[in-house]
Structure 1
Amino acid sequence: MAELHHECGIAAVYHLPSAETSSFAPRGDANQASRVIPRILLDIQNRGQLAAGMTTFSTERNQLIDTHKDVGSVSEVFHLNHPRKTDALMAEYAGRAAIGHVRYATCGKDDRSYAQPFERHHIERSKWFSFAFNGQLSNYLDLRKEILAETDFHLARETDTEILMHLICQELTSDPRMDPADLLSNLAKRLDGAYNIVYLNARGDMFVSRDPLGIRPLCYVVDGPEEAPNMVVAASESVALANLGFPEENIKSLEPGTAIVIRDGKFSIKRYAESPRRAHCFFEWIYFANAASTLDDRSVYLSRKRLGEELAKQEDLEIDDDTIVVPVPDTAKGAAASMAYELNVPCLEGLLRNRYAGRTFIDSTNRADKVRMKYTPLPEVLEGKKVLLVEDTIVRSTTMQVLISQLRERGKAKEVHIRVACPPIVAPCFYGIDMSTIEELFAPRFMPGTELTPEHEAEMAASIGADSLRYLPLDSIARSVQFDSSELCQACIDQKYPTPAGERLYQLAVGNHERGESGRTYDAAEPAASVRT
């Protein structure tokens, strides 16, 4: 499903100065946190391919914290295909602490100035800091209006990351040596949305925080006993930590409303805000996260496997010798294989993905050309077959229409039946996924509200050229991810937003849609008179 994009991913590494060198430090050198960050970012690049960067800390250079970032993939930004350039870069940015980021933007421009981490220079070390941010502030416009109401204030970028940097600066102005938990507690009173943060200052202090609802995942591992660790590593997904060599059983999810704090070389985990409820984004398990990750103790792969079982349970198509299951690469593979197993039919790769076609959501303006570049149907697999094409979700339908046409014309499939391992997407996301209007969504054109009927599915199938289309019901998500639905954010499929600003933006989106107005909901929104959290 080449239609949906996540905001970003974050990482942090700290070799604690009071401890012995960790066995996981590259080359046994505790001053090489810079070498760990690109390895982590490669493993979470599924979360953002637009830009990458890192900030490191070292007392052995004038630039106590220094940032390297640019537009491009992790390999491009860190010159990983050129060993000499990589070694020179790692030596230049050597340090015992580092934070990192990969970006795909849901707001802001596609240039280097928007790449993260954001570094803010200051002569006072406590006020010289860098940070990176995963998520999206739903009350961005409220905060922006509040800041610009001050006559001498100016914002140079249209991004909530700059808003967050300004708010951190405000807190440090009042107390430069403020405890990180207090700083985060003050921020939490003003922020609405999803916000995981990694932060590093010129004193060598670091914090890694997860928002009180736990909307986006954040994992960490401690090498050595927590009371006196050698090394602490954090990343948006567990797979990045496992691939460093840490035992799976040692990798944990950071509790919502808590932060890893390293201050004056001492490690602790502190609660900075109450977590009245959980609102984990279900899309992390069914689409965004690496299948090898485990988030909040739930396996991504097993969740997708259970989605396939759910699809098989509701299948009413007559199965014959010509029936095959074909996944849309790559995130639908787990569900497709599981569905095929339950139905006792072959699961075949009738579509191959060209991994070197580039980012189709950036490169070309012709959707059909982009799909032809990215996917190749195999007539030797598809010809004369009744194809159950399994997709993780349908957002805008444009890719799916072209895929169905390609399966018929180039693949020579006899029938194409779409099976979607997700309920219909009926509402925008305001927490870090690139879909902010009702107008751009496929399902609301055919179904009012969240009630789906066979008639709706038949109309949808006809509109995209499929022989049939089936979605999963709403309650299948909680069963598959194995959380109670009250612990998940499912706003895009049930229209129930977990925060006040998200709900307010949704009501604006509904009004815009009813009036036939185009453009992002954020752009059309009138900020509220006061910030609501």
Structure 2
Amino acid sequence: MADLFHECGIAAVYHLPSDTPSPLAPPQGPDQISRLIPRLLLDMQNRGQLAAGMTTYNESRSQLLKTFKEVGGVTEVFHLNQQQLYQRIMEQNRGPAAIGHVRYATCGKDDRNYAQPFERHHIERAKWFSFGFNGQLANYRELRDEILAQPDFHLSRDTDTEILMHLISRERSGDNRPPISELLRRLRAKLDGAYNIVYLSAAGEMFAARDPLGIRPLCYAIEGPLFAAASESVALANLGFSEKNIRSLAPGHAIIIENGRLSIERFAEASRTAHCFFEWIYFANVASVLDDRSVYLVRSRLGEELAAQERLVPDEDTIVVPVPDTAKAAADAMAYQLNVPCLEGLFRNRYVGRTFIEGGNRADKAKMKYTPVPEVLEGKRVILVEDTIVRSTTMQTLVKQLRERGGAKEVHVRVACPPIVAPCYYGIDMSTVDELFAPKFMNGQMRLTDEMEQEMAVVLEADSLRYLPVEAISRSLSMQAGALCQACVDSEYPTAHGQRLYQLTGVSSDGNGVDTSRVFDRPELAARS
């Protein structure tokens, strides 16, 4: 709801050679382990709804790697509601190893050519590979320029995923035969940003790797001969893996399968981690556990933080209303602490596209997407709890709807997040600085004042507005602030190229946003900065 684009989700499965099939494998046998990919992707549909796909490996067919992908949601792409067609797709793409991807575009066009996984054909098995990528390379421009500086080289897509494909190809060109661990070490030396990768080759090699800062989450599980990895733990749990066997992959580590054997290896070291805090407060499925922190419990603690700083004295007409769906846990916890009812005064129409995915008039789409309930709201002092505010278009519409259609007598907006003050260069498609709501009122300051919040409330046509302070994030996660990436709320970027991009695209001396298209030389990337 918060006008933020989701990033992507990745998945991998591998049935290692064994005389004993895994009890989690499909009843058709280990060669049908690829059937697990649509199930994994479906549980991560929250991470991307524009395209989905998978690549399978099967040494018993001439087409050792096969990639099936299309624009659309997982149900549409794999025809999950059409059993005959779905079964045909699964049979044509069966194999004991597979990788999968759900996509939202942080860059590139919305067509099949940008859907992942990306497959690169070659006559040599080890050089014929496919991979899926979750993240964003902050040094995209430099890598692109380096490639295009060679006259015989060409890039056909405007995406950092293709850059990554060229880098992998180059490391395995000619007589180069580096083992996967060495390949990852070489890539690490070139990449700046967030990059979780699942990789599958026609030689039956696989790896699932997490960048050294651990910006994006990556979980895995091993039970008997079956290995699986996914961006979120809920996908593995719903597949049937025991909770005790589901772990977060440590930053800078990779799970590598070569010659039918699995190992976990460290390919990079870092002096710190930089876990994206937005994964817990907004992106991830509420049932997931990321880096040993429950998404649900973190959101509940954020609600407790809201309650602790609340100045409004509740009366018999006061109710708490969450904005569906990601703010519900915070709203429930806040209401419990304040001893007031938490009621669903807004309902979401799940068949209307997300306002931040579709273009056009956001206010009109917000009206279609959320329906206020007068029977709940009439004559009430509403504490409206939201996870975050980016541009404010949707929030302005909601406040107006609560008053006009719902009959609320007061609307007090509470945000379970600090104000967004800077763009993201690591995989979240946020606005440019001049499009963000909060910086217009903060005049370059990083600390909110009561006067600033009241000015914002006036613009939203709310009776009051309160954000959480930045310190509440680390408290709610029980994690040191230095272990998190909070750049969008404190403008402190954890990588050199992230810092450089902010200096180039941040707020200028006159308080206006810089034209980001000049930084990337590509207008379509200005929107993602």
| TM, length-normalised to structure 2 | 0.96
**Quick one: structure 1 residues 176 and 25, their matched pair in 2 at CA, closer, same or farther if it must change by over 3 Å?**
farther
Superposed, which structure 2 residues align to 1:41-440 within 5 Å? 41-224=41-224, 230-363=225-358, 365-440=360-435
Find the aligned partners of 2:508 and 2:449 in 1 and give their Cα distance: 26
CA contact (8 A) 1:505 1:525 kept: no
Find the aligned partners of 1:16 and 1:392 in 2 and give their Cα distance: 42
CA contact (8 A) 2:58 2:94 kept: yes
CA contact (8 A) 2:2 2:390 kept: no
CA contact (8 A) 1:308 1:337 kept: yes
SS across alignment from 2:337: helix
Task: Give the Å deviation of 1:500.
Answer: 0.2
CA contact (8 A) 1:367 1:398 kept: yes
Superposed CA deviations along residues 100-147 of structure 1, whole A, max 9, x for unmatched, are 000001111011000000000111111100000000000000100111
Task: Give the Å deviation of 1:59.
Answer: 1.1
Task: Give the Å deviation of 1:19.
Answer: 4.9
CA contact (8 A) 1:11 1:198 kept: yes
CA contact (8 A) 2:207 2:256 kept: yes
Specify the alignment match of 1:458 in structure 2: 454
Find the aligned partners of 1:134 and 1:510 in 2 and give their Cα distance: 25
Instruction: Supply the AA of the counterpart residue of 2:467.
Output: Y
Instruction: Supply the AA of the counterpart residue of 1:131.
Output: F
Task: Give the Å deviation of 1:524.
Answer: 2.7
Superposed CA deviations along residues 233-268 of structure 1, whole A, max 9, x for unmatched, are 000000000001111111000010010000011110
CA contact (8 A) 1:430 1:436 kept: no
Task: Give the Å deviation of 1:459.
Answer: 0.4
SS across alignment from 1:393: coil
1:478 to 468, 474, 477: 474
Instruction: Supply the AA of the counterpart residue of 1:479.
Output: R
Could you tell me which runs of 5 or more consecutive residues in structure 1 were left unpaired when the two chains were aligned: 225-229, 528-533
Task: Give the Å deviation of 1:522.
Answer: 5.9
Percent sequence identity is: 67
Specify the alignment match of 1:490 in structure 2: 486
Specify the alignment match of 1:503 in structure 2: 499
Task: Give the Å deviation of 1:15.
Answer: 0.4
CA contact (8 A) 2:504 2:514 kept: no
**Quick one: structure 1 residues 436 and 513, their matched pair in 2 at CA, closer, same or farther if it must change by over 3 Å?**
farther
Q: Which runs of 4+ in 1 moved over 6 A?
A: none
Task: Give the Å deviation of 1:17.
Answer: 1.7
Instruction: Supply the AA of the counterpart residue of 2:434.
Output: E
CA contact (8 A) 2:41 2:74 kept: yes
**Quick one: structure 1 residues 124 and 65, their matched pair in 2 at CA, closer, same or farther if it must change by over 3 Å?**
same
Aligned length: 521
2:436 to 433, 441, 451: 441
Find the aligned partners of 1:176 and 1:10 in 2 and give their Cα distance: 27
CA-based RMSD: 1.4
Could you tell me which runs of 5 or more consecutive residues in structure 2 were left unpaired when the two chains were aligned: 523-529
SS across alignment from 1:194: strand
Instruction: Supply the AA of the counterpart residue of 1:187.
Output: L
CA contact (8 A) 2:54 2:67 kept: yes
SS across alignment from 1:243: helix
SS across alignment from 2:356: helix
Find the aligned partners of 2:521 and 2:407 in 1 and give their Cα distance: 51
Find the aligned partners of 1:517 and 1:154 in 2 and give their Cα distance: 32
Task: Give the Å deviation of 1:360.
Answer: 2.9
Instruction: Supply the AA of the counterpart residue of 2:415.
Output: V
Specify the alignment match of 1:531 in structure 2: none
CA contact (8 A) 1:129 1:201 kept: yes
CA contact (8 A) 2:233 2:288 kept: yes
Task: Give the Å deviation of 1:511.
Answer: 5.4
SS across alignment from 1:234: strand
Find the aligned partners of 2:107 and 2:20 in 1 and give their Cα distance: 42
Task: Give the Å deviation of 1:368.
Answer: 2.1
CA contact (8 A) 1:438 1:513 kept: no
